[in-house]
């Protein structure tokens, strides 16, 4: 039985203080107060943190000091000046590991974290206690943006990352029990696990679930097949993977709850989250500065999809300036009915590596394929793999089997919507594949990076 909410909240803050995380509460209060500021005030606060991070990097980080000296830049007069620095690519991050750590890093609290390696190369980076406290405060704030969830309300995290679980301690398990938080490892997404997790969710009755989008979609399909609901569930927060409209619609319809999108990565913590009540993604301006760049490296206009480049504002131990994420999204103008003062962006459409290339030179992202495949109830998960310009291998997890008529219709729709008669081969799976991070890429192209022009979106 859950602990009464107010008691669970009190126990949470006591436990945080005993574990040396007392400042999290103060930082969460700061983040809440920022929501009452104007967009101009948020922009000023963000630039102040950006400039402070820039000056700190020059003074204490050998790599940045060398690069800034080479380019003759010592300070920032405006956010645009940041573009005088080169991009920090995954290759540079791997090559310059030691030179990217600050001379003033609090080495007693440093932890080594790792990127997921979804681009083929796994990088490591350092994060100190100060970063982790800001990270926790931002996480709590985004939970609050999901249908009024409050600290102490029943909460479930469904997570599959081996890295995450390797950090778990006995204290964490005790904290979870006392604060109405439950965590389930979704590393092995077998039919048996999906069914067992659904049963536990029905018994526990969380108000909020934060999870990988594909994992929650599989759980929703299981719930639909058994005609059951999760009592008390008000919101699902999809994270770490793109949340295509088709998956989102299925989760919301079957579980009768609101669905929110969250975007972030281990290197940076949370970058953006959908505003309360639904709407555009709100960039976490206290945590990151985001650039959207076209193929020429120039800033994108509103609504123009480009590569996301991120500068962290809370990791003084190893600041990442102009870190190339390879993720694709577009900046948005401020809407007249915006409820928060933060800059807006679209949901992330995927990674450059996730774009299927057409022989004509265009590309197709996961949203289109999701729109096509998820219209068929028998398809619980899919992945499109491209190793040849004119051929596609489609891996399909369909517990009841993939009907020939469905396969034929899918091929016809792929041809129609992509404008090319790809040779399509289907590989049916009897269970979900394993992933060391818990994440699954819906589209994988091994043909290299395509241009962004002429894109097709579902």
Going by C-alpha positions, the residue among 31, 21, 82, 32 that lies closest to residue 286 is: 31
Q: Are residues 320 and 399 in the same domain?
A: no
First to last CA, the chain: 43
For the stretch 269-287, pLDDT in tens is 999 999 999 999 999 999 9
- In this structure, are 420 and 318 located in the same domain? no
255 and 164 share one domain: yes
- Of the candidates 356, 405, 414, the one whose C-alpha atom is nearest the C-alpha of residue 378 is 405
pLDDT at 118 over 60: no
Dist. CA 200–CA 184, nearest whole Å: 10
Tell me which of 370 and 158 has the higher pLDDT.
158
In DSSP terms, 428 is beta-bridged to 396
pLDDT of residue 353: 56
CATH classification at residue 179: 3.40.50.12780
pLDDT at 436: 52
Q: Note the pLDDT of residue 167.
A: 55
Domain that holds residue 432: 352-456
Inter-residue contact 102 to 318 (CB < 8 Å):
yes
What CA–CA distance (Å, rounded) separates 187 from 434?
Answer: 7
Give the global pTM.
0.81
pLDDT in the model for residue 369: 84
For residue 326, the model assigns a pLDDT of 82
Asked if residue 106 is part of any domain, the answer here is no
Residue 242 domain-assigned (yes or no): yes
- In this structure, the answer to whether residues 255 and 393 fall within a common structural domain is no
Residue 44 lies in a domain: no
Question: Looking at the domain assignment, is residue 93 inside a domain?
Answer: no
| Among candidate residues 299, 314, 348, the one where a domain is terminated | 348
Half-sphere exposure at residue 318, Cβ-oriented, CA atoms within 13 angstroms: 26
Of 250, 341, 355, 242, which Cα lies nearest the Cα of 295?
355
Q: In the chain, what percentage of residues exceed pLDDT 90?
A: 66
- pLDDT tens track for 293-352: 998 999 999 999 999 999 999 999 999 999 999 888 999 999 988 999 999 999 987 665
Q: Is 395 in the same domain as 279?
A: no
Same domain? For 255 and 375 the reply is no
Q: Could you tell me which residues are beta bridge partners of residue 6?
A: none
Regarding whether 247 and 162 lie in a shared domain, the answer is yes
**pLDDT tens-digit readout, 130-182:** 999 999 999 999 999 999 999 999 999 987 655 554 555 666 777 788 899 99
Give percent of the chain with pLDDT exceeding 70.
Answer: 89
Q: Based on the fold, state whether residues 401 and 255 are members of the same structural domain.
A: no
DSSP codes of every residue in 272-291: EEEPTTS-SEEE-TTTEEEE
Residues 248 and 386 placed together within one structural domain of the fold: no
Least confident of 47-61, 110-124, 361-375, 421-435: 110-124
The per-residue b/e assignment along 407-420, b for 16 or more CB within 10 angstroms, e otherwise, is: beebbebbeeebeb
């Amino acid at each position: 039985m859950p602990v009464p909410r107010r008691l669970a909240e009190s126990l949470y803050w006591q436990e945080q203080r005993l574990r040396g995380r007392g400042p999290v509460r103060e930082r969460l209060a700061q983040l809440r107060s920022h929501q009452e500021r104007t967009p101009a005030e948020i922009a000023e606060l963000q630039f102040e943190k950006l400039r402070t991070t820039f000056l700190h990097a020059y003074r204490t980080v050998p790599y940045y000091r060398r690069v800034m000296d080479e380019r003759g830049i010592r300070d920032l007069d405006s956010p645009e000046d940041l573009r005088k620095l080169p991009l920090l690519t995954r290759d540079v991050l791997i090559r310059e590991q030691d030179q990217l750590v600050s001379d003033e890093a609090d080495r007693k609290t440093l932890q080594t974290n790792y990127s997921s390696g979804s681009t083929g190369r796994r990088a490591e980076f350092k994060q100190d206690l100060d970063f982790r406290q800001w990270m926790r405060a931002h996480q709590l704030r985004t939970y609050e943006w999901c249908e009024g969830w409050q600290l102490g309300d029943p909460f479930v995290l469904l997570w599959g990352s081996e890295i995450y679980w390797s950090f778990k301690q006995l204290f964490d398990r005790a904290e979870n029990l006392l604060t109405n938080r439950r965590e389930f490892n979704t590393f092995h997404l077998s039919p048996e696990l999906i069914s067992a997790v659904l049963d536990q969710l029905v018994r526990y009755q969380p108000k909020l679930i934060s999870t990988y989008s594909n994992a929650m979609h599989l759980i929703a399909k299981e719930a639909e097949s058994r005609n059951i609901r999760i009592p008390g569930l008000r919101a699902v927060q999809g994270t770490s993977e793109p949340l295509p409209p088709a998956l989102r619609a299925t989760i919301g319809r079957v579980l009768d709850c609101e669905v929110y999108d969250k975007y972030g990565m281990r290197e940076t913590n949370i970058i953006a989250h959908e505003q309360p009540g639904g709407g555009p993604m709100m960039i976490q301006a206290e945590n990151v500065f985001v650039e959207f760049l076209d193929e020429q490296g120039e800033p994108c206009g509103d609504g123009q999809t480009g590569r996301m480049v991120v500068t962290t504002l809370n990791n003084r131990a190893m600041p990442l300036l102009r870190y190339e994420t390879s993720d694709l999204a577009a900046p948005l103008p401020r809407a007249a009915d915006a409820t928060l003062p933060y800059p807006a962006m679209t949901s992330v459409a995927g990674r450059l590596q996730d774009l299927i290339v057409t022989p004509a030179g265009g590309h197709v992202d996961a949203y289109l394929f999701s729109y096509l495949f998820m219209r068929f109830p028998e398809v619980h998960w899919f992945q499109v793999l491209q190793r040849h310009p004119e051929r596609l291998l489609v891996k399909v997890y369909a517990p009841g089997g993939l009907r020939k008529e469905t396969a034929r219709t899918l091929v016809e729709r792929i041809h129609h919507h992509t404008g090319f008669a790809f040779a399509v081969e289907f590989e049916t799976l009897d269970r979900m594949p394993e992933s060391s991070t818990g994440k699954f890429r819906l589209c994988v192209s091994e043909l290299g990076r395509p241009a962004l022009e002429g894109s097709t979106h579902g």
